[in-house]
Structures are given as C-alpha cells and as structure tokens.
Amino acid sequence: MESASSIFQEFKQFILRGNVLDLAVAVVIGAAFTAVVNSFVADILMPVVAMVVGEPDFRGLDFTINDAVFRWGNFLTEAITFLLVAAAVFFFVVKPANMLMQRARKEPPADPTTKKCPECLSEVPVDARRCAFCAQPIAA
C-alpha cells in the first residue's frame, strides 16, 4: 500500500501539470467572458432588435393544438440571441485576433532570384555573369 505522502506527492504533480492549470484558467476566463458577451447581447443588441421589430422578447408568442402548447416565440428569441452572440464573438474577438495573428506572422521577404543589368536594366538571374539581352558582363 502506498504511503499518504507519496499519494499526496503524486496528486501534487498531477495538479501542477501545465495542461490542468491551463484548463482551469480557460474555464474561469470562459465563464467571465460568457457573462460579458451575454450582457452585451441582452443589454446592447437586443434593444436594437426591439427598436426595429418593436419587442426584444418573443417568449410570449405561442399557439395551441389539441392542448399542446407550441412556444415558437421562445425558440425565436433563443435563435436571435444565438445569432447575436455568434456575431458579437466573431466581430469583437475572432476578427481582431485574426488580424493580430496575421500581423505577427509577417513573413520575411524572400531572397531575390533576379537582379537588374546595370547596362540595359533587364531582369537577369542572380547567378548570371552576362546579360542575356545586351551581353554586358555583370559583376557578381
């Protein structure tokens, strides 16, 4: 049977592994970010929907068939909320992050494969010793 100290040591090693800590941080940040996005949609974007349509919440819209209540307004509200959340995340998180990543990924300029002939200004290969157009010698 393992001793309590070795089990504690193994547990400590497991907890302090990078991916467990990263996951914990991601969950906490994700929860906080979810609250911000939901507030943005509910408090900023849904009033815009209300200005256009006249009502920000369609949960009261339903119909009944044979004592079965179909709450299609609830579905409509949730679908609009989903689309607004997706748009908010795309335009305020994904697009700016992609632009930042693209700026950080600037590729170094490629080595030139041609150079200009000093006499006729034609493009000639870098390794050429004579211009193919005017036959002038080209310095290395």
- Same domain for 65 and 100, yes or no, is yes
User: Which stretches of the chain are assigned E, i.e. beta strand?
Assistant: 63-65, 68-70, 114-116, 123-125
Q: How many CB atoms lie within 10 A of CB 68?
A: 7
- Same domain for 75 and 118, yes or no, is no
Mean pLDDT of 106-132: 85
Number of domains in the chain: 2
| pLDDT tens for each residue of 38-67 | 898 888 888 888 888 777 778 888 889 999
Q: What is the CATH number of the domain that holds 72?
A: 1.10.1200.120
The predicted pLDDT at position 18 comes to 66
- Same domain for 99 and 138, yes or no, is no
Would you say residue 1 has pLDDT above 70?
no
Distance CA 75, CA 58 (A): 8
- Same domain for 38 and 80, yes or no, is yes
Which structural domain, as residue segments, surrounds residue 39?
4-104
- Same domain for 17 and 75, yes or no, is yes
